[in-house]
């Protein structure tokens, strides 16, 4: 059964949002965030100080899409107000590993005693810093920050060994302000 379904997102003070067709760009004190949405059957417009997303005849699947797009827009607005921050812990038991940030790459030396250093990509738009045994990843875009943190975790994944014994690696301990 099709029903009228709309979601309103209020734009806070100090944040500027522009809609150009399917592209939403949000500017704030921390930076700018831009994203293209798949909104073929929806209304997607800015009205006064609000963003309106919805449809006059929305099906169950379209309601789910509208709610998903609403969540993405809220994350964009939240990101330009305050950057998303992921914290990772460097853990080792026998071989002390070191992590260095060199441009858009992170170099991990002496992981499990390996002679060849491992390199991890830091995505454009993300900032990474190392302080003793804590790696901090910050970005305006939640997905870029999360993917960069995941690159650190998968870059130190141990294969073909018992993970209960070999627990060395870099692990996420805090996601966007929430402890894990």
Which pLDDT belongs to residue 98? 94
Please compute the mean of the pLDDT values over residues 18-27 and round it to a whole number.
92
The predicted model scores a pTM of 0.90
Convert the pLDDT of each residue in 105-150 to its tens digit: 999 999 999 999 999 999 999 999 999 999 999 999 999 999 999 9
Which pLDDT belongs to residue 21? 86
**Secondary structure of 12-56 in the HEC alphabet?**
CCCCEEEEECCEEEEECCCCEEEEECCCCCCEEEEECCEEEEEEE
Structural domains in the chain plus CATH codes? 3-81 (3.90.930.12), 84-179 (3.90.930.12)
* pLDDT higher than threshold 80 for residue 99: yes
């Amino acid at each position: 059964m099709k029903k009228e379904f709309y979601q309103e997102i209020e734009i806070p003070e100090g944040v500027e949002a522009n809609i150009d067709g399917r592209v939403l760009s949000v500017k704030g004190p921390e930076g700018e965030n831009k994203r293209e949405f798949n909104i073929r059957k929806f209304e997607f417009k800015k009205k006064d100080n609000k963003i309106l997303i919805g449809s006059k005849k929305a099906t169950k699947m379209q309601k789910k899409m509208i709610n998903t797009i609403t969540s993405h827009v809220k994350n964009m607005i939240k990101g330009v107000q305050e950057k998303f921050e992921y914290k990772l812990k460097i853990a080792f038991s026998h071989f002390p590993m070191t992590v260095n940030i060199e441009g858009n790459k992170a170099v991990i030396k002496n992981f499990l005693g390996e002679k060849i250093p491992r390199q991890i990509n830091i995505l454009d738009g993300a900032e990474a810093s190392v302080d003793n045994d804590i790696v901090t990843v910050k970005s305006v875009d939640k997905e870029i920050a999360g993917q960069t943190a995941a690159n650190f975790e998968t870059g130190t994944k141990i294969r073909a060994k018992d993970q209960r014994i070999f627990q060395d690696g870099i692990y996420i301990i805090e996601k966007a302000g929430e402890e894990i």
